[in-house]
Amino acid sequence: MKNMYNFVKNTHKNISWITIIDSWKPGENIWLIAITHWNEPVWLKIFEYLVNEFKINEKLKWWKIYLIANNIEAYIKYSKSEDKNKFRFIDDNMNRVSNKKFKNWSYEHKRFYELKQIFDEIDFVIDIHSVSKWNDLIWISDTKYKDKAEKFFDVETILIDEIWNTWSIIWEFIRKWKEAYWIECWNHVDDIWFKNWVINILNFLVYYWFINWRIDKKHDNIKIFEFIEEIKVKTDNFKFISDFINFTKIWENEIFAIDEYNELKHNLWTDIYLWIIAKNPKKWDWAWFLFRKLK
Ligand SMILES: [Zn+2]
């Protein structure tokens, strides 16, 4: 918790939790946003690495990098909580509010609209998340940036989607023709894979000439999955049939979860892959996704 306060003091236009690394040369700005969900502490490790170890402020060639902690109330609650996976947000999923009517009692709604005031200053966005299941690092890209994503992301898997469907934070940028991605890091608190996450963020900065470095790429055969469906948990009595790891192929009419009395299966004609982001998803939260494998 102590280190977090390196970032707490910084504000931008009276908006809290924004640290700006400025090269003092004009141009495009990149926004690294993080901690949309409270149980995803990788943001802090990445911010700290960039600022304290990598010394990004000395290496930045031009433009600005904004380091933004989105949902800090949730993170503070997470830090004090005994059950680290209990909730993902205070009262609404900030990554699904952009199409919703403004709720003035909701922390996430207020924070989202506060940040929205500075969206125009931003040209590129990476939204950093993590998951509670085993996974290599995964990038999520809008369909229109798929070819680009393959050039600089060193990952096993890229997920593509029509991001406008998701009402996520990055959708706000994509609809204005700005480039935005979403990254899902391996298990929330893992040190071994931390380097991989960082390499990918540095690769992105190199590709767009923010820093003089080299693109580090070990994966040649990137698997690409296309999003098909996202499903919500409807009851408190929800259970996956087995401990699905990574992307699991499921057959037509194969039951993969039970939501009280409802057996979940797909009846699509094609091969479908299931990907779970939360081991014990909560009622009314998005918890798993169905994909089609493109490559
Ligand atoms: Zn998340």
Query: Model confidence at 4, in pLDDT bands (50, 70, 90)?
Result: low
Q: From the CA of 70, how far away is ligand 1's center (Å)?
A: 11
Q: Same structural domain for residues 288 and 179?
A: no
> What's the whole-number average pLDDT of the chain?
84
Q: From the CA of 112, how far away is ligand 1's center (Å)?
A: 15
Position 3 pLDDT exceeds 60:
no
Q: From the CA of 129, how far away is ligand 1's center (Å)?
A: 4
- For residues 246 and 159, the model is more confident at 159
Distance CA 54, CA 201 (A): 12
Query: Where would I find the H helices in 153-294?
Result: 169-174, 194-207
What DSSP character marks residue 53? I
- For residues 211 and 5, the model is more confident at 211
236 in any annotated domain: yes
Q: Same structural domain for residues 242 and 158?
A: no
Position 68 pLDDT exceeds 80:
yes
- For residues 188 and 210, the model is more confident at 210
Q: From the CA of 45, how far away is ligand 1's center (Å)?
A: 15
Q: Same structural domain for residues 249 and 280?
A: yes
284 in any annotated domain: yes
Distance CA 266, CA 19 (A): 45
214 in any annotated domain: no
User: For residue 33, which amino acid is it?
Assistant: I
Q: How many domains does the chain have?
A: 2
61 in any annotated domain: yes
Q: From the CA of 134, how far away is ligand 1's center (Å)?
A: 15
Q: From the CA of 117, how far away is ligand 1's center (Å)?
A: 22
54 in any annotated domain: yes
Q: From the CA of 89, how far away is ligand 1's center (Å)?
A: 10
**Full-model pTM:** 0.84
111 in any annotated domain: yes
116-154 pLDDT tens trace: 999 999 889 999 887 766 557 788 899 989 898 888 888
Q: What CATH number should be reported for the domain holding residue 159?
A: 3.40.630.10
Average pLDDT over residues 159-175: 84
Q: From the CA of 120, how far away is ligand 1's center (Å)?
A: 23
Average pLDDT over residues 226-231: 86
Q: Same structural domain for residues 146 and 264?
A: no
Q: From the CA of 40, how far away is ligand 1's center (Å)?
A: 6
Domain span at residue 234 reads 227-293
Q: Same structural domain for residues 94 and 62?
A: yes
Query: Model confidence at 71, in pLDDT bands (50, 70, 90)?
Result: confident
Q: Same structural domain for residues 167 and 252?
A: no
Q: 41 with 188: CB under 8 angstroms? A: yes
Position 188 pLDDT exceeds 60:
no
Q: Same structural domain for residues 194 and 232?
A: no
232-281 pLDDT tens trace: 889 999 989 988 877 899 988 899 999 999 999 888 877 899 988 777 77
What pLDDT shows up at residue 177? 85
Average pLDDT over residues 43-67: 89
Q: Same structural domain for residues 173 and 265?
A: no
- For residues 86 and 212, the model is more confident at 212
Query: Model confidence at 1, in pLDDT bands (50, 70, 90)?
Result: very low
- For residues 270 and 114, the model is more confident at 114
Q: From the CA of 278, how far away is ligand 1's center (Å)?
A: 10
Q: From the CA of 7, how far away is ligand 1's center (Å)?
A: 20
**Cα dihedral 46→36→158→284 (10° resolution):** 150
Question: 138 phi and psi, to 5 degrees?
Answer: -125, 135
What DSSP character marks residue 102? P
Q: Same structural domain for residues 46 and 128?
A: yes
Percent of the chain with pLDDT over 70: 90
Q: Which of 118, 115, 119 is nearest to 174 (CA)?
A: 119
What pLDDT shows up at residue 2? 47
Q: Same structural domain for residues 164 and 263?
A: no
184 in any annotated domain: yes
What pLDDT shows up at residue 95? 85
Distance CA 163, CA 169 (A): 10
217 in any annotated domain: no
What pLDDT shows up at residue 118? 93
Average pLDDT over residues 60-84: 85
Q: Same structural domain for residues 16 and 72?
A: yes
Q: Same structural domain for residues 103 and 50?
A: yes
Q: From the CA of 19, how far away is ligand 1's center (Å)?
A: 21
